[in-house]
Structure 1
Amino acid sequence: MSQTAPQRASAGPTVWQKRVMGAMMGTGVGLTIGFIFGSYSIIRGGAGPRGALPTLSQYMLSSAATFGFFLAIGSVIRNDSDLSSQLEAARLRLAVSSPVMRSRAEGAAMIRRRWEMEKNLRQQ
């Protein structure tokens, strides 16, 4: 009889990979925002003494560095969990089914049932 080793679930990305992914996304967003605002600034106020291309590149690089830094930190904080993804999903499912997260219609129906129960208790 041959025994097979138990299959392990594939692990998710490491914290370092999450940080790099967040930094790359933030850099892309920052470059785009820097291009938009830099172009608008150059069109509205002129290129300045350095010229259009250095001014635009300064806007783009400063915006990319800022967005990249904050999204790198944010992606690590957001995804840094002690629970596995399956346990996290189960926790969220339980949180949604709690009485606090019910819809207005469900809450109103519960109140009506309680009123009916109280009314029946008073009549008896």
Structure 2
Amino acid sequence: MPVPQGVPKGESQCLQRVKMGFAIGFMVGMGSGFLFGGFSSFRAGLRGINLLTNTGKVMVQGGGTFGTFMAIGSAIRC
């Protein structure tokens, strides 16, 4: 049986879907973290480097959380 193209040797199709789900979820979470974290930091009165660091933290947290849930959802579907 031929191996489908695009799948590295030794890596299952399910693992590839889980990684893709995490990547997509991470990007969506980063986008929402940018919006929500930026607006909430701005409303709290943060400016300059404090605004950027707080927004960056919220972006990474949101990306990690949403990416994890998307990866779990992709694993369930396998």
Deviation at 1:46, TM superposition (A): 1.7
- Aligned equivalent of 1:37: 36
Measured in 2, the distance between the counterparts of 1:75 and 1:44 equals: 36
Asked if structure 1 preserves the Cα contact closer than 8 Å seen for 2:42 and 2:51, the reply is no
Paired with 1:43 and 1:54, the residues of 2 have a C-alpha distance of: 12
Structure 1: distance between partners of 2:2 and 2:51: 55
User: Which structure 2 segments of 5+ residues have no match?
Assistant: none
Equivalent pairs: percent with the same residue? 35
The letter for the 2-side match of 1:55 is N
Residue equivalent to 2:69: 70
Q: Deviations over 1:32-83 (max 9, x none)?
A: 00000011102211228x71111011110000000111101101212x1xxx
- Look up the equivalent residue of 2:74 and give its one-letter code: S
Q: What amino acid is aligned across from residue 16 of structure 1 in structure 2?
A: L
Runs of at least 4 residues of structure 1 off by over 3 A? 7-13
| Structure 1, unaligned runs of 5 or more | 1-6, 81-124
> Which has more radius of gyration?
1
Partner residue, 2:17: 18
* Structure showing greater relative contact order (alpha-carbon pairs closer than 8 Å, 6 or more residues apart): 2
Q: Which moved more, 1:10-19 or 1:22-31?
A: 10-19
Q: What is the alpha-carbon root mean square deviation over aligned residues? A: 2.4
Aligned residues: 72
Q: Structure 1: which amino acid aligns with 2:33?
A: G
User: 2:54 aligns to what?
Assistant: 55
CA distance in 1, matches of 2:16, 2:3: 18
Deviation of 1:10 after TM superposition, in Å, equals 4.2
The two structures have a TM-score, normalised by structure 2, of: 0.78
